[in-house]
Chains A and B, each alone.
Chain A
C-alpha cells in the first residue's frame, strides 16, 4: 500500500545520501534548532560587527556540516548526543533523518547569503537572510514545525514543468 513511498532511492533524499531511512532521536534536531535560534538572534543583533560576522560564519559551518556531511557531524547534534541525551529518558520514538537534514540544507542557503552580505558590507541583505533563518529555526525549536520541509512540495511544484 505504501509501496509508492518506500522506494526512497528514487527520491532526492538519496542525492543528499541519507542511507535508506536513517533514524534519529527527534529531540536532537529540536535541541539544535534551539541553539541555532540563540546564535541567529545574537547574529541579528550584532550584524555589521566583526562578532556578528563570526557568528554568521560559525552557523554557516554548522549548517554545512549537517547538510553536506550528515546530522552525525552537526556540532549541536554531537553536543546533544554526548552531553544532553545521556541525561534524558530514551526517546518515545525515532524519526527519519531526511527532513531535519533537508532543513539544514535550507538553513545553509540562507546563511551563505547572510555571510556573503556580511563580508561584502551589505548589512541589509545579511539582516533579511538571518531574519528568515531565525524564523525557521524558532518555529522548529518551539513548535517542531519544519518550515523548509513544508515548503518542499511547493518548490517541487513550481520547478516541475
Chain B
C-alpha cells in the first residue's frame, strides 16, 4: 500500500515542478552584476593606468570576449548557449534569428556549451538554452534560461537599446 502513496507523492511533486518550470522557463531577467567584456570595446586606447583608474575595466576579462570577438551586434547581441541534448534550443534559435531580422543592429550568436565549459562555469550557466542579452558595449544586461517568448525578447531589446523600440520593424 505504501507504493500507492509513493506514486501519488511523486506525481504531485512532479506536477508542481512541471508547472513551476513552465512558469519560470524563458522568463527574461535583469542581470545583477553586469560583466564588462573588456578587450572588445576598450574604454581607453593604450593608457597604462586605465586598468587601475576605471572600475568597470577591473572586471576580469571574460572568455566570452574571445568567443564573441567580431560577432558583437552594433546595438545588442543575443548569446545563446546550446547543447546536443536540448529540445528547446532549435525553437530558441528560430525565434532569435527572426528577431535579428526585425530589429536592426542586433546579432544572434550561438555557442556550443560543451565546447566552452570553462566559460559556462564562469558565467554560471546551468541549462540550455540560456540566452544572454548584451548591449552595444558588450555588457550583459539580461538573461533567460529556457525557450523565451518572442514578444519578451523584443521588449528586452527595447529596454537595452537606447531610443527604445520605435524603429523596430515589427
Listed in ascending order, the chain A residues whose CB lies under 8 Å from chain B are: 1-2, 4-5, 8, 10-13, 26, 41, 44-47, 95-96, 98-99, 102-103, 127, 131, 134-135, 138-139, 142-146, 148-150, 152-154, 156-157, 160
Quote the shortest CB–CB distance from A125 to chain B (angstroms). Answer: 14
Residues on B with C-beta less than 8 A from A144 are 87
Knowing A4-B112, A135-B14, A154-B127, say if A45 contacts B87 (CB, 8 Å). no
Q: Mark B114-151, 1 if CB is under 8 A from A, else 0.
A: 11011011000111100000000000000000000000
Q: Is the CB of A160 within 8 A of B18?
A: no
Residues on A with C-beta less than 8 A from B87 are 26, 95-96, 99, 144, 146, 149
Listed in ascending order, the chain B residues whose CB lies under 8 Å from chain A are: 3-4, 6-7, 10-11, 13-15, 17-18, 21-22, 71, 82-87, 89-90, 93, 108-115, 117-118, 120-121, 125-128
Q: Is the CB of A138 within 8 A of B14?
A: yes
Residues on A with C-beta less than 8 A from B120 are 153, 157
Q: What's the Cα separation between A152 and B7 when bound, in Å?
A: 25
Residues on A with C-beta less than 8 A from B115 are 4, 10
Residues on B with C-beta less than 8 A from A154 are 126-127
Q: Can you pick out 19 interface pairs between chain A and chain B where the beta carbons lie within 8 Å of each other? A: A1-B108, A2-B93, A4-B110, A4-B115, A12-B84, A13-B84, A95-B90, A99-B85, A134-B10, A134-B11, A134-B14, A144-B87, A146-B85, A146-B87, A152-B128, A153-B113, A156-B113, A157-B126, A160-B121
